[in-house]
Amino acid sequence: MSATVQINPMLIGQGLPPFDQIQPEQIVPGVEALLAALNADLEQLETTVEPTWSGLVEPLTQIEERLTWSWGIVGHLMGVKNSPELRAAYEAIQSPLVQFANRLGQSQPLYAAYKEMRASHQWDELTAAQQRIVEAAIRDAELSGVGLTGEVKATFNQIQQELAELSTQFSNHVLDATKAFGLQLTTAEEREGLPQSLLAQAAQAAKAAGHDEATATQGPWLITLDAPSYVPFLQHSRRRDLREQVYRAFVTRAAAGELDNQPIIERTLVLRQQMAEILSYDTYAELSIARKMAPSVAAVEQLMEELRSASYETATVELAELTDFARDRGFEADPKQWDVPFWAERMREEQYGLNDEELRPYFPLPQVLDGLFTLAHRLFGVTIAAVDGEAPVWHPDVRYFQVQGESGEAIAHFYLDPYSRPAEKRGGAWMDFCVNRGKIKDQIRLPVAYLVCNQSSPVDGKPSLMNFREVETLFHEFGHGLQHMLTTVDYSGAAGINNVEWDAVELPSQFMENWCYHRETLLQLARHYETGEPLPDELFQKILAARNFMTGSAILRQVSMGWLDIELHHRYQPSGDETIWDVRNRLAETTTILPPLPEDAFLCAFGHIFAGGYAAGYYSYFWAEVLSADAFAAFEEAGLENDTAIAETGRRFRDTVLSLGGSRHPMEVFKSFRGREPSTQALLRHRGLVPAA
């Protein structure tokens, strides 16, 4: 294979991906050659397998990691550098990859060997991490259909195949529909109210679309459905008709014509239910929760109801206050969905004297990174240094960093891809792993993470000036990265986020967001990009006061989406009397204050549950926020201004939540940090729904 490796970078199988060499045309032959080799290795393992760690887990891990390395590169590029050529390659290899994954998951010899391991006398000699890995492998095999035979097995595998294809189509449709819309503004009246930062960005978008003469002052300006354009436009545009046009375009993305995701949703729900029944679960939600921290669907719904009842009345009052505020300023109509962001922004400016645009100059990306890295050092004792140029990257804007331990030794690395590129990069923000920590022949392989955001890019010679939400998002993704990078587990099957139950995986990310409201942290990272002046304390106090502005509405929106996800995967009958929109409207009666527009088809762009890992699991954000709020409360109790106590608590957090990864159950990990089970009180207090003690 050595000659092939020189020709095809997809077959290297270890280390950092050579992004400077990989071309779409190499993917299909590379992955086909890889699958041929891995199939042969798997057959060999099945005939020689021994029910021991070295005779089963280690050789199987090698097979899985070679697959993950190559497939991970393709999946990553689909998110950050999408193109017709890449899509064609991805779709060509998706089917054989799913077939191999099924073959791996349904291997009877490997399953039998795992079960024999668990039943043998050597079980007690394994570490807790090893036992968790074996237990997870047995469960995953059973949920992958290892017990199926004949026609039922063939049907199950066909379902897996089709679901993978539907997920890819769904994601591509959303990207294409987002890219297809553009509102061109040409007059001063059309741009009225828009902040300078948005005008500069919109002129840059117009330039990219072929208007070479576009400038921030003269236009034309192109408004897109990408978050850095869409959100500030709704918040600031004084043209109500244009806000409505943009809002309607946003909530009807991928809901008509060739890009219509509705048939994909219907088919996905049918297939997921069939898959659940084949595996002897009543519903897909029950199948999903079999891999999660929550004990049952009922427990999830109990948490959702607790949050719904705590926020519904608050959200009702918030909308009434917003309506009165707008009326007092001459707005006669009842506020619609495209009015709420606009008037909420005016109300926030007036009540708290806080304006997103006023804050942006204090949050240049380089300065925010310095502050974030200083916090990581203070809490966890790590030092982060830029090592740009030490790793090939997929775009010139991508940065590369090294994480160093107390002695200055490298313990991890990460890429940062910060800016929005709507033509090729999907929206949102995420962390993914590039390389997992592991021990190979007594050598520790260091973890490498991808951190991906979608904030405004540098314009007109200025650095990327972030709004406060973008700062929170960066902290969030960095929290995920910390769990991947600071793990001390040497078995890759339980290192970092591997083998962590999905509804606990948001704990470190949401925990990190809390530090955006900590005075010392914020004043350290917020400095004016031109003068170097720190954020005035008066502005910090305004940020703090405005933290829970419209909090009831924000929680209710998340509850609405989470409950709809559970309902579609637990009670909805695709062939029944209700449509998916009937279900949405029924739930909206108790989970929204403004009922959705008849044409609102946001489900058609709800990638979390139809193209991501959150199917029957969107509630995970709340489940984990209970944990993260309670974890942050430990720092509050220690005293946020007490450096010694904060460092001690931070070290305990690092040695438990960030270090143990998936080597122990999340409740055990949480209790080892907090000394008790979590309580919802900290979450409700942080969200302003119960008075602080």
pLDDT for 240-274, tens place per residue? 999 999 999 999 999 999 999 999 999 999 999 99
Sequence-ordered list of residues with C-beta below 8 angstroms from that of 479, at least 6 positions apart, any chain = 508, 509, 510, 511, 512, 513
Q: Examine the domain organization and report whether 9 and 140 are in the same domain.
A: yes
Answer whether residue 672 shows pLDDT above 50: yes
pLDDT for 47-104, tens place per residue? 999 999 999 999 999 999 999 999 999 999 999 999 999 999 999 999 999 999 999 9
In a domain, 12, yes or no: yes
Please, how many CA atoms are within 13 Å of residue 501, restricted to the half-sphere of its CB?
A: 25
Is the distance from CB of 508 to CB of 625 less than 8 angstroms?
Answer: no
With cut-offs at 50, 70 and 90, classify the pLDDT of residue 7. confident
In a domain, 60, yes or no: yes
Q: Examine the domain organization and report whether 218 and 263 are in the same domain.
A: no
pLDDT of residue 358: 87
Q: For residues 185 and 206, what is the distance between their CA atoms, to the nearest angstrom?
A: 10
How wide is the angle at C-alpha 86 spanned by C-alphas 84 and 90, nearest 5°? Answer: 115
Q: For the domain that residue 125 is a member of, what is the CATH number?
A: 1.20.1050.40
Q: Examine the domain organization and report whether 194 and 270 are in the same domain.
A: no
For the chain, the C-alpha Rg in angstroms (whole number) is: 25
Is the distance from CB of 422 to CB of 431 less than 8 angstroms?
Answer: no
Residue 211 belongs to domain spanning: 181-252
- Which of 597, 467, 611 has its CA nearest to residue 164? 611
In a domain, 450, yes or no: no
With cut-offs at 50, 70 and 90, classify the pLDDT of residue 6. low
Name the helix (H) or strand (E) containing 648: helix 643-653
Q: Examine the domain organization and report whether 113 and 235 are in the same domain.
A: no
What integer is the mean pLDDT of 176-188?
96
Q: For the domain that residue 583 is a member of, what is the CATH number?
A: 1.10.1370.10
* SS3 annotation, 441-489: CCEEECCEEEEEEEECCCCCCCCCECCHHHHHHHHHHHHHHHHHHCCCC
Q: Examine the domain organization and report whether 202 and 78 are in the same domain.
A: no
Is the distance from CB of 624 to CB of 507 less than 8 angstroms?
Answer: yes
Answer whether residue 362 shows pLDDT above 60: yes
Q: Examine the domain organization and report whether 129 and 210 are in the same domain.
A: no
Residue 545 CA, chain-centre distance (Å), reads 27
pLDDT of residue 2: 46
With cut-offs at 50, 70 and 90, classify the pLDDT of residue 439. very high
- Which of 38, 79, 675, 669 has its CA nearest to residue 432? 79
Sequence-ordered list of residues with C-beta below 8 angstroms from that of 552, at least 6 positions apart, any chain = 311, 312, 313, 314, 315, 316, 317, 318, 689
In a domain, 474, yes or no: no
Q: Which of 232, 252, 272 is the last residue of a domain?
A: 252
What integer is the mean pLDDT of 173-188?
96
Question: Got the DSSP string for 17-61?
Answer: --TTT--HHHHHHHHHHHHHHHHHHHHHHHHH--SSIIIIIHHHH
Q: For residues 555 and 636, what is the distance between their CA atoms, to the nearest angstrom?
A: 23
Q: CA separation (Å) from 31 to 72, 101, 433, 561?
A: 11, 13, 19, 37
Answer whether residue 280 shows pLDDT above 80: yes
pLDDT for 219-242, tens place per residue? 999 999 999 999 999 999 999 999
Q: Examine the domain organization and report whether 240 and 272 are in the same domain.
A: no
In a domain, 268, yes or no: yes
Q: For residues 360 and 467, what is the distance between their CA atoms, to the nearest angstrom?
A: 5
Is the distance from CB of 141 to CB of 111 less than 8 angstroms?
Answer: yes
What integer is the mean pLDDT of 285-302?
96
pLDDT of residue 331: 96
- In sequence order, the β-bridge partners of residue 404 are 383, 410
- What pTM value is reported for the model? 0.92
In a domain, 463, yes or no: no
How wide is the angle at C-alpha 677 spanned by C-alphas 676 and 678, nearest 5°? Answer: 120
DSSP one-letter code for 335: P
Answer whether residue 1 shows pLDDT above 50: no
pLDDT of residue 440: 86
Answer whether residue 457 shows pLDDT above 50: yes
459-463, 506-510, 569-573: range with lowest mean pLDDT: 459-463
In a domain, 78, yes or no: yes
What is the set of active-site residues? 477
Answer whether residue 39 shows pLDDT above 70: yes
With a pLDDT cut of 70, the percent of the chain lying above it is 99
Answer whether residue 5 shows pLDDT above 80: no
pLDDT of residue 692: 45
pLDDT for 91-123, tens place per residue? 999 999 999 999 999 999 999 999 999 999 999
In a domain, 466, yes or no: no
pLDDT for 198-219, tens place per residue? 999 999 999 999 999 999 999 9
Q: Examine the domain organization and report whether 56 and 117 are in the same domain.
A: yes
Q: Examine the domain organization and report whether 24 and 109 are in the same domain.
A: yes
Q: For residues 668 and 504, what is the distance between their CA atoms, to the nearest angstrom?
A: 12
pLDDT of residue 469: 93
Q: Examine the domain organization and report whether 308 and 338 are in the same domain.
A: yes
Q: Examine the domain organization and report whether 66 and 203 are in the same domain.
A: no
Q: How many domains does the chain have?
A: 3
pLDDT of residue 11: 93
pLDDT of residue 235: 97
With cut-offs at 50, 70 and 90, classify the pLDDT of residue 680. confident
pLDDT of residue 3: 44
Q: CA separation (Å) from 685 to 196, 311, 348, 571, 691?
A: 36, 12, 21, 33, 6
pLDDT of residue 693: 43
Q: Which of 574, 596, 618 is the last residue of a domain?
A: 618
Q: Which of 230, 252, 274 is the last residue of a domain?
A: 252
pLDDT for 612-666, tens place per residue? 899 999 999 999 999 999 999 999 999 999 999 999 999 999 999 999 999 999 9
Q: Examine the domain organization and report whether 293 and 232 are in the same domain.
A: no
